[in-house]
Every structure is written in structure tokens, then in C-alpha cells.
Structure 1
Amino acid sequence: MFPRLRGALSAVLIVLTGLLAPCATLAGWAMHGPADTGRYVATVAPLADDPDVRDAAADTLGSGFAGIVGEVTAGPVNGTVRLFVRDAARSFTRTEAFHEGWDAANRTVHATVLRALRDDATAGHAVTVDLAPVTERVRDRLAEDVPFARRIPVRHTAVTVLTAHQADRLREGYRVLDVAAFWLPLAAVVFAVAGIAVAARRRRAVTAAGIGTALGGALLALAVVVGRRLTVTELPGPVDGPAAGAVYDALTETLRTAAWLLVGLGLTVALASWLTGRYGRLPRRRSRAEPGTDPAPARPTRTGR
């Protein structure tokens, strides 16, 4: 009865290890990847050269510039002007000024959001950011090639990044991730070691732990794929479609890599444990079968006449 109890307890601990492994990986990725401003900016910086992202940015910039032109001229903007503004915006996305503005805007927005998530004093308030310094920097850089750019007005307008409700929900989630990023990996390791230690057959427990880790990694990889579909579908406005997919793929690249590393690590451990268990006992069996190890035959006893 005692070995059965040990086996059941070991199975429960190993199952918990398989469930905690992907959750721990996800929490660690969130806190050390997207939640770090420097890593975030470095991750999204190459997207300034992505065609889909540039087209989405050009459409947004074109609409904004068309509105500015309409206010300056105090009249409606005709189709010819709109076409010119759109072409100018697409040409702008291929300049060094756009790359600088892209990095500066992402850094400013990310730092503002992260500061709001960490500060409890901002609870109940929307997260806003003033992009006027970024606009002025881009305008000065663009004016080096296009003198007309000096006439672009710079307005100090608070742009809402997150509503109060969204910010409060994200703040709660950030706190949970902050705690989970430390405790979940530790709990997964403790459960794995305990499950193997209490098992009646430890080699089988190691194999099961490896298979459970691999399944957890595969589940995490599947969750990333499903999350991409849901994210791209639910995002409204000009960021939907291929541009949103490019941003999602860039941010989750390290998470996908970590998921497949879990699969590879788990399968490697399981395979190594199975092979050592299968072939580790063969020499003993062969040694018993060697003729030299057989006991010498007993001499026949002489019987009296």
C-alpha cells in the first residue's frame, strides 16, 4: 500500500510540474521582455523596416497631415492634396527621421505605461502621453531634407493610451505577474524534485517529468498561436491585419523560442532516462549468461561395492 501512495503522490507532483512549467515561462517572459522598456524598444525597432508596419504608419500619418493641411488652408482637402499627402507620408516612412521617431515614440509610450502600472497613485486615472517632444524631434530631423517641414505645428495634446478601466486591470495583472515570475519557476523545480524523490520507481518518474515538461512547452506554443489569432482579430483601427501580426510576432519571438526549448529539454530528459533504464541492465544479464561464470559441475561420488 505504501508504494502505491508514493506513486500517486509522485504522479500528482509531476503533473503539477508539467502545468507550472509553461506558466512560469510565460510569467518570466512577460516580466523580463515586454515589461522592460529597453528590451521592448530593441524588439520593435526592426519593425520600422517592415512593409506592413510602414504602410499602417503612413496611413495614420497621412490622415493626421491631411487634417493639419485642412486647418492651415481653412478649407476642405481635395483628392489631389490627399494623394500628395499620402505619397509624402509613405516616402517619410523610408527615411532615417521615421526610424528615430519610431524609437522615440515607442520608448515614450512604453515608459509612461510602465510607470503608471507600477505607481498605485495613478489608480482610477487614464494613462496619457504627450507626443509633442517626439513630433518636434521628427519635424526638426525631417526639415533637414524638406524645408517645408518647419511649418508643421507641434501641439501639446494628451493622447490617451489606456483608459482608467484598462489601466486598473493591467495594473492588477502586472502585480500578479511580478509575483508569479519569481515563485512559479521555483515551485516547478521543487515539485519536480519532490515528485522524483518520493517515487517508488524514480527512473520512470524522471521520464514522466520530461514528457510532462515537453507537453507543457507544446501547450505554450499552441497558446501563442491562438493568442496571435485573437489579438489580430480584436484590434480595431489602422493597426489591424498584417501590421498587428508583425508586431505580435516580434514581441512573442522569445516566448516561442522558450516554448520549443521546453519541448526539446523535456524530450531529451525523457529519452535519456528511458535509454539508461533500458540498456543500463544489459551488461548484468550478459554476464550471467557467460559460460565462465557458471558453477563447476559436481564430481560424481563413488559408491561402495
Structure 2
Amino acid sequence: MSDAFGKPAGGSTPAGDAAPGPAPDAALTADERAELERLRAQVAARRRRIGWRSPLAVLLILVGCVLMPLSVVGVWARNQVTDTDRFVANVTPLAADPSVQNAVADRVTAEIFRYVDVAAITRQTVDLLAERGLSPLVANQLRGLSVPLAGAIRGFVRDKVGEVVSSDRFQGAWVTAVRVAHEQMVAALSGEGSRSVSVSQGVVSINLGAFVAAAKDGLVSAGFTAAERVPNVSPQFEVFSSRDLARAQDAYRLLERVGTALPFVAIGLILLGVYVAPGHRRALVGAGLGVAASMLLLGIVITLLRTAYLDRLPGTVSATTAATVFDTLVRFIRAGLRTVLVVGLVVAAAAFFTGPSATAVRTRHGFHTGIGWLRQHGEAAGLRTGPVGTWVHANLTILRLALVALAGLVFVFIDRPTGKDVLVLAALLVVGLAILEFLARPPHPEPAPTPAGPV
């Protein structure tokens, strides 16, 4: 028997014909259909949000990573201008550097012998002795010794000046002069110049008048009274020279103005990008790696600038001394970029290993398994945490967050943190988390009663 549509009664179909599947929504009730439409609307809205959030997050994080190197340089420039102690700490090692000491000693010695002509003094002395009856043969021999005698005296003077320059007195005078001349140095870096530190035709030079006077007093005290002929002079010691100094000074002034706000802008953009991103953890991993890469790029740029600067030095400037001065001035930048680089890598690693990837899950599983093995063997040896372990297990999440917050506070309050400090804090944080896992003892559930017979 067939129904009105020609199909066999009972819902059977002829052999070889495929049974048509029911429509997806045909068997749904009104409530189920409403729930399906609501879920479809949520999925569509989520897709629309992801559509604009991902590019915006990438843009924000990228701009923040680009601003991070400028922030490091800006903070350095700002500290050199506003913090006298940091500025003095930055340039004080120059006084103890052998290459700088040798260059200063050579410059001071040359300045002294501009006014003390030993050969001329020797000839005048021999002529005077000849007039008073000295044998002509002896006088001629003495005249022939004037050149070697001048070289020997020059070596003596150079040694005495070197002793003065390498003494604690010189280093103390250097520190005092640097501290007093801080404002003048800032004026020189900004292109304004001063009496103590001047900028002329792309060359930064320091006034050595005070050091010439100290060397003069030392020579006179040592018996070399000819040094009294040296007047009160102010020779210039060239320590920095570059054809691009004007542009560097413009960049310095710009960074000095924005040095305070730029780090907060960069960090704020990165955090906003992580917040806007659909996947916060993945965005945090990318942000950490991006910050580390930007610091690596900054290090490469500093190295290239150093090479270009040394290649453009004029012949009057010692390359060794100039390299020492450059490395001393940028050492705080290098220390800062290393710290930020390590922070970026630590943040990226923490975000990755707390994520749902297979590697992260296996790592956490191995960590928990190892801690559990230690806990079991400790309990077997009589080491039980008791109610403390139960309380730690009940508040484990809060304790973890508190430990992370404590590590963050310690990092914030460290004066001039280094990359080593970051690694030590990260290692201590991991050890602290492991101790919490070891102490956390889940309460043992009561065993289920065994049924007396078949139910």
C-alpha cells in the first residue's frame, strides 16, 4: 500500500533509492531552535570581533616593540642629564683606564715641552760654561749630547706625569672635576659648549688646564725646576669626534625630552595589544619575543655605530682612547638592553609553558609528576605536611599569584637591575612554585563502601 506521495507504507523505500535525510532544523522544538539561533549569533559576533582585534593587536604590539629601543636610549639620556650621581658613575672609570691615562699623560707632556726646550737649555748652559773657561773639547762633547740628553729628560718628565695621572690624587681630581662640570658636559652634549667641555667642528674636547698644573707641581717637587717655565695653559684633550655629531645631538635632545614618557607609552601599547588580542597568551608570547628581538637589534645598531664612529676619526684623535670613551658612555645602554631582553624572554617562556600546547602540557605534567614523586617518598620517610599541606592545596592559586607578585615587586625595587638579576629572580620564582607544589597535599577521599551483595 502506498501513501499519497507514492511511497510504500511504513516508511520503507524501494531498493536502490537513498533515504533523504531530515532537514537540520526540522526536528527541533521552538526552545531548541531559539537556543541554536542564539549560539549562531554568538559565533558570528565572535568572528567579527576576531576580524578587527587581531590586526589591531599586532599593530599595537609592533609599535610598542619599535618604541622599546628608543625608550632604553631615552632613559639613558634622561639619567645622564638629571642624575649627577649616575653621570659621575658613568664617566669615573675613564680616569682609571690605562689607554685614557696614557693619552692624557702624552698630551700633558707635549704641552709641557712646548715651553721647556731641553736642547736649547743645554746649549745655553754649555755656552755659558765655555765663556767661563770650559775646555772647547768638553764643550763640543756636551753640545753633541744635547739631543740624547733631551730625550732622556723627556722620558723622565713623561714618567713623572704618568705617575701623577695614575695616582689616586688624579682620580680624585677627575671625579671632582666631573661632578662640578656636570652641567657643562650636558651643555656640550646638547651642542651649547662651555669652558670646561667644548664642541667645535664635530669634536668634543675636555680642558686639561687643571691637570697640567698638577703635573707641573709634581715635576717641580721632583727637582725638575725647568717646569716652572710652563705658564697657566688650558690645552684641549679631544675625546669624541664625528662628522654626524650635529645629527647625534639633535637626536639626543629629542630623546632627552621624551625619555620620561616614552617607556610608559611603549609598555602601555604592548599591554593594550595583549588585551585586545583574541588569544592573550599567544599575544604575550609574541610580545615577549618581539621585545627581545628589538633589544637585540639595538645592540647591533650600537655596534655598527661604534664601528662607523671609529672609522671616521681624524688622525689627531687616538682610536684606542676614543673606543674606550665610547664604550664607557654606552655601557649603561648595553646593560639596560640586556635586562629588557632577558625580561622579554622570561615573559615569553612563562606565557608559553602555561599554555595549552603539547610541549607545555608535557612539561607541566613532568613537573607535577616529579613533585608528586618527591612528596610520596617524603611521606614514606615520615615527612608529612599535615594541615599545612591541606591549607596550601586549598589556596594554591592565590599563593601562586602572591609569589609572582612578590617577584615582580622585588624586580621593580631593585636599583639598576641587570639581566643576571632577572634570571636569578626567575629561578627563585620557579623554586618557590615547586615548594608550593611540594607542600600542597590534597585531602585523601574516603573509600567508597563495598556493596554487601548484588543489587
* Same structural fold, with TM-score higher than 0.5 when normalized by the shorter chain: yes
Q: Deviations over 1:229-260 (max 9, x none)?
A: 22333333464333222222222222112111
Q: Deviations over 1:33-80 (max 9, x none)?
A: 377544333333233332222222222122112212139968998544
Counterpart for residue 3 of structure 1: 50
Aligned partners of 1:24 and 1:185 also within 8 Å: yes
Pick from 146, 151, 155 the counterpart of residue 222 of structure 2.
146
Q: Deviations over 1:156-178 (max 9, x none)?
A: 55859899x99976664443122
Pick from 271, 287, 293 the counterpart of residue 215 of structure 1.
293
Distance 2:193 2:104 in 1: 33
1:147 deviates by 5.0
1:94 deviates by 2.6
Where do residues 39-188 of structure 1 align in structure 2 (5 Å cutoff)? 39-70=86-117, 78-107=150-179, 110-115=182-187, 132-133=209-210, 135-136=212-213, 139-140=216-217, 142=218, 145-146=221-222, 148=224, 151=228, 153-155=230-232, 157=234, 172-188=250-266
Aligned partners of 2:310 and 2:323 also within 8 Å: yes
Aligned partners of 2:92 and 2:175 also within 8 Å: yes
- Structure 1 residues 158 and 36: alpha-carbon distance in aligned structure 2, compared to 1, 3 A threshold: farther
Counterpart for residue 263 of structure 1: 341
1:266 deviates by 0.7
Distance 2:355 2:245 in 1: 53
Distance 1:128 1:247 in 2: 12
Counterpart for residue 189 of structure 1: 267
Aligned partners of 1:211 and 1:266 also within 8 Å: yes
Aligned partners of 1:214 and 1:266 also within 8 Å: yes
Aligned partners of 2:69 and 2:294 also within 8 Å: yes
- Structure 1 residues 83 and 132: alpha-carbon distance in aligned structure 2, compared to 1, 3 A threshold: closer
Equivalent position amino acid for 2:91 in 1: V
- Structure 1 residues 100 and 29: alpha-carbon distance in aligned structure 2, compared to 1, 3 A threshold: same
- Structure 1 residues 151 and 102: alpha-carbon distance in aligned structure 2, compared to 1, 3 A threshold: same
Distance 2:193 2:88 in 1: 26
Q: Deviations over 1:139-165 (max 9, x none)?
A: 45x3695354772634255859899x9
Distance 1:128 1:212 in 2: 39
Equivalent position amino acid for 2:269 in 1: F
Pick from 332, 348, 355 the counterpart of residue 277 of structure 1.
355
1:281 deviates by 7.6
Aligned partners of 1:203 and 1:277 also within 8 Å: yes
1:89 deviates by 3.0
Distance 1:45 1:169 in 2: 26
Equivalent position amino acid for 2:302 in 1: V
Distance 2:157 2:193 in 1: 42
Q: Which has the higher contact order (CA 8 A, sep 6+)?
A: 1
1:198 deviates by 1.2
1:128 deviates by 8.7
Aligned partners of 1:210 and 1:270 also within 8 Å: yes
Aligned partners of 1:109 and 1:129 also within 8 Å: no
**Unmatched runs of 5 consecutive residues or more in structure 1:** 284-305
Equivalent position amino acid for 1:220 in 2: L
Secondary structure in 2 aligned to 1:204? helix
Q: TM-score, normalised by structure 2?
A: 0.52
Distance 1:120 1:51 in 2: 30
- Structure 1 residues 221 and 120: alpha-carbon distance in aligned structure 2, compared to 1, 3 A threshold: closer
Counterpart for residue 288 of structure 1: none
Equivalent position amino acid for 1:146 in 2: A
**Unmatched runs of 5 consecutive residues or more in structure 2:** 1-47, 124-145, 365-455
RMSD in angstroms over aligned alpha carbons?
3.9
Distance 2:68 2:155 in 1: 53
Distance 2:255 2:168 in 1: 37
Pick from 256, 268, 277 the counterpart of residue 199 of structure 1.
277
Counting aligned pairs with the same residue, the percent is: 28
Q: Which is greater in Rg? A: 2
Secondary structure in 2 aligned to 1:68? coil
Matched, 1:232 2:304: no
1:119 deviates by 9.8
Distance 1:211 1:152 in 2: 64
Aligned partners of 1:101 and 1:135 also within 8 Å: no
Distance 2:205 2:324 in 1: 25
Equivalent position amino acid for 2:58 in 1: A
- Structure 1 residues 89 and 200: alpha-carbon distance in aligned structure 2, compared to 1, 3 A threshold: same
Please say which of residues 94-103 and 129-138 is displaced more in the overlay.
129-138
Q: Report which of the two has the higher share of helix.
A: 1
